[in-house]
Structures are given as C-alpha cells and as structure tokens.
Amino acid sequence: MSAAADPAHFSETQYTQILGSEFSALEPENAMKFGPIHPRPNTDAQPYDFAPADQLVSFAKQRGMKVRGHTLVWHQQNPDWLTTGALSSSQLSQVLQDHITTVMTHFGADVYAWDVVHEAFEDNGTLRNTLWYDQPGIGFAGQGNKIRGASISGGARGGSQRETHL
C-alpha cells in the first residue's frame, strides 16, 4: 500500500512512524512536480531543485519502500518562467524533453514507476487545454511518452522496464 508524502513533515515523529510502518511505497505530494523540482529556467546555473524529492527517496530507501514518481507533466504547478515566458512550440518541446530526461535520469532506478502526464482529461472525457496540449506540435501525451521511452532506452532507468501512466 502506498501513500502520498511531503518531505517537509519528515521532522514529525508520528508522521514518519506511520509512513514507515503502515506503507510499502511512497509518492511525493508535490516534490517531483514541474514547478517545485524545476523552479528556474535552464539558462539559470541551478535550474533544478532536487533536495525535497531526494529527501523523500532517501527516506523510502532507508525503509525498503518503493517510490512512484509523481508527476512529469501536469497542467498545474508549472513555474512562472514557463507559463509567462512566451516560449515557442519548439522551445517548449525542448524544455519538456530536457525536463523529463533530467528528472528521470536523476532518480534512475530509485523510482519504480512514473505518472508521465497527470490529469490529461477533463471530467467530460475531452483532452484538457493546457500549456502542453495547446501548443502546436507538443501533444503532451505522445511527446511525454516518447521522451520517457527514449530516457528508458538511454539508460535513465537503469535498463529495467518501468510502468508509466497517463
């Protein structure tokens, strides 16, 4: 059984005791979402902030728990530099490719599965209008899984087969 966890609460004894004793897998509430993990553009010297997500992975590994990556592409929690940067389709495509490859490579085999695209559909079953879907040539579901597949075959996943979800 798995639980969504927030590394900001790892200093709370009751929180960590319950997570460590009642669950066999963790998924970050927010630590691996685009905005928190990639808060600055790639032109910045430190575009990524892996610290909270690394803390979650370390917590899980110390307790023999699995980690599910959540999430590589979502319509929410995108940083301002991305949503207000007026990026062209080709620039946005490159950002998405870099993001997915960098994040998957960073965590490698420590993450057994990824939610590649989160909440792609509206409640009525139509594709959600988002920064990723609305840009010509992006098509987040196809693009996200194409990049994820290339990351796996390129060794980002330690060569193992991993489950991914749209």
pLDDT in tens, 62-84: 999 999 999 998 889 999 999 99
More confident call, 97 vs 14: 14
pLDDT at residue 120, as a whole number: 81
pLDDT at residue 149, as a whole number: 56
pLDDT at residue 138, as a whole number: 59
DSSP, residue by residue, 135-150: STTT-HHHHHHHHHHH
Mean confidence (pLDDT) of the chain:
85
3-state secondary structure of 20: helix
**Which domains can be identified in the chain, with CATH numbers?**
2-165 (3.20.20.80)
Asked whether the predicted pLDDT for residue 129 surpasses 90, the reply is: no
Overall pTM surpassing 0.85 (yes/no) = no
